Structure 1
Amino acid sequence: MSPPIATPRSRALGFGLRKTRQERGFGLRQLARATGVHPAELSNWELGLRVPKVEEVALLLGQLRVDVTERERLFELAEHAREPNWLEKEMPDAPAILTTLAEYERTAVSIFSWQPMVVHGLLQTPDYARAILAYGGSPAQLVEQRLRVRKIRQTAIREYRAPECSFLLGEIALRQPIGGREILLDQLRHLLELPRRLAVRIVPFGGDFHPGLNGSFAVLEYSDLPSIVFLDQHRGSAYIYDDDQVADYKSAAKTMASLALSADESRAFIEGVITELEA
């Protein structure tokens, strides 16, 4: 069984419960004892990994003596935390890890991403994405399903209230001939056609060690929730919520940004790679 995933709604409820508990001076185990809730269960609620029932939320808030306004806000979150998000409604068969990621992206105020080896999924052309998703003989139906999810995610970050995006790509991502020369060329031309607000910057190959050599990562920030880090690996993905670890990744993001070419320099760099490939 897959581990539970903290969705944006469940996480908002959990963050509100934890913040209220801490403001009232209650330790987690102290509140658990006072309400008869198992500490592990209360911890899962605060992390957004499990969603408490409305009556369970009422039990906690009664013990914490929360004011009417905040109580109603948390009740509303509890009532709606289990509802499917916008992508789940449109594609009920989509994997939970993808629908949750799409919701996190759509509700963020800013997204920073570092991808050293391949072009970020939100920037990929269909053919480039298909060449990646089809690797290993994945069933065609699954590949097309994931392509549809990727297309919806791409559309979402181009909306009026879309997050501010900063995409850093390693030079290798521009030269790795995924799908072949023509598909790569089409992908590179697509990068030049993206809206300027989807800032694409290149980190050239070479130089000393930097944190980006440890792999790709994304930092997503929100107006009313703590930031999170998303890690996407070969055999799975993970979210990081721990404040200290998130701070480390934010520091790494600043380092990577300092190593990247400017937006104009990056465009010129991409044009240069296209010229090389066309020669």
Structure 2
Amino acid sequence: MSPPFATPRARALGFGMKKARLARKLGVRELARLAQLSPQEISNWEHGKRVPRPEEVATILAVLRVAPDERARLFDLVRHANEPDWLAAATFVEYERTASAMVQWAPSLVPGLLQTPAYIRALFATTPRAKADIEERVMRRLARREVLSSRHALPFRAVLGEAVLHLNIGGREVMAEQLRHVLAVSRARNVSVRVLPEGCGHHPGLYGPFVIFDFADLPPIVYLELYRGNGYLYHREHVADYRSAAESLSALALSESESERLIQGVLAELEA
């Protein structure tokens, strides 16, 4: 049996190798010449389409003079690259950047791509992080929003639990600003925001938030957000189950226009 194709670890390995190459300001062909490897192979590895042998990774990392900690992380990825599922903190931002479509179920918090700076700061307010660290995280999260408005804007479909609208994250002013932003972004042609009203009974969304990433030339990946760490699922049956869950949630959710009216109603109460 052939090994799994473009597993989460293989893609994370590719992201890491590409990041190291770009840090040295080398093109693929130049790296291939220095490492005496095929440019096409290096390209396939960076895209997660193929998995290099440990000795090939060692050659590339030596040429790129990668730091010991990062080298150890990448070697761990290559050793387990053919395992289909993964519970670890992988490169979520790279999945957003390279996806051809994204579907998200957000039962309690506004999705990261829709968050305002004040809302993000409120999420970190109860953590022991230093102010400078929080501001860096705010800037990184805001930079992610460019995928929704770039030339090749990401098709983004979000279903929000009604609780998202009512949780007092940061106070009335912060929540009002946040809901105004959600309404504004939801009017973009590539963005769909719908609300799942409370009182729907049992549904698959009760088991937690998730994201489905689709890619133009790679298999889809499901992202699971956990309190400590993140999970990535790749197995075909698991992805199919989550896609079915997403469709069930969409069937229960309000339409886009009904969702907009509900959000406007909550916003009016906050602004009163």
Unaligned runs of 5+ in 2: 18-37, 49-56, 61-73, 75-87
**Greater relative CO, 1 or 2 (CA 8 Å, sep 6+):** 2
Query: Is the counterpart of residue 76 in structure 1 residue 67 in structure 2?
Result: no
Match of 1:224 among 217, 220, 229: 217
Which aligned pairs between 1:1-279 and structure 2 lie closer than 5 A?
A: 26=1, 47-48=9-10, 73-78=40-45, 100-194=91-185, 195-196=187-188, 197-279=190-272
- Give 1:79 deviation, angstroms: 6.9
Per-residue CA deviation, residues 159-200 of structure 1 (Å, 9 max, x unaligned), is: 111221101111100010100111001111111111422211
Q: Which moved more, 1:172-181 or 1:191-200?
A: 191-200
Contact 1:177 1:184 in 2 (8 A): yes
Rate the CA distance shift 1:257–1:76 in 2: closer, same or farther, 3 A: same
| Partners of 2:184 and 2:255 in 1: CA distance | 17
Alpha carbons of structure 1 residues 232 and 80: separation in structure 2 relative to 1, 3 Å = closer
Instruction: Give CA-to-partner distance per residue, 1:143-171, whole Å, 9 cap, x none.
Output: 11211111111112221112211011111
Give SS of 2:91's match: helix
Amino acid in the other structure paired with 1:113 = Q
Q: Secondary structure at the match of 2:244?
A: helix
Contact 1:106 1:162 in 2 (8 A): no
Report the Cα offset of residue 276 of structure 1. 2.1
Alignment RMSD: 3.2
TM-score, scaled to structure 1: 0.68
Report the AA paired with residue 200 of structure 1.
V
How far off its partner does 1:206 sit? 0.6
1:102 alignment partner, SS class: helix
Per-residue deviation, 1:136: 2.1
Q: CA deviation at 1:73?
A: 3.9
Q: How far 1:80 moved relative to its partner?
A: 7.9
Secondary structure (helix, strand or coil) at the match of 1:166 reads strand
3-state secondary structure, aligned to 2:212: strand
Spell out, residue by residue over 1:60-101, the C-alpha distance to the aligned partner (whole angstroms, 9 max, x if none): xxxxxxxxxxx9744532378789xxxxxxxxxxxx988821
Moved over 4 A (4+): 42-47, 79-83, 96-99
Contact between 1:202 and 1:261, CA under 8 Å: does it hold in 2?
A: yes
Instruction: For 2:132 and 2:109, locate their aligned partners in 1 and report how far apart those are by CA, in whole Å.
Output: 23
Contact 2:158 2:193 in 1 (8 A): yes
Question: What secondary structure, in the 3-state scheme, does the structure 2 residue paired with 1:268 have?
Answer: helix
Question: TM-score, normalising length from structure 2?
Answer: 0.70
Percent of aligned pairs sharing the same letter: 38
Kindly state the Cα deviation for residue 218 of structure 1 after the two structures are TM-superposed: 0.3
CA distance in 1, matches of 2:240, 2:5: 22
Gaps spanning 5+ residues in structure 1: where?
Answer: 1-25, 29-41, 54-70, 84-95
AA partner of residue 114 (structure 2): L
Aligned with 2:266: secondary structure?
helix
Distance 1:78 1:158 in 2: 29
* 1:177-228 deviation digits (Å, cap 9, x = unpaired): 1001110011111111114222111111112200001110000001101000
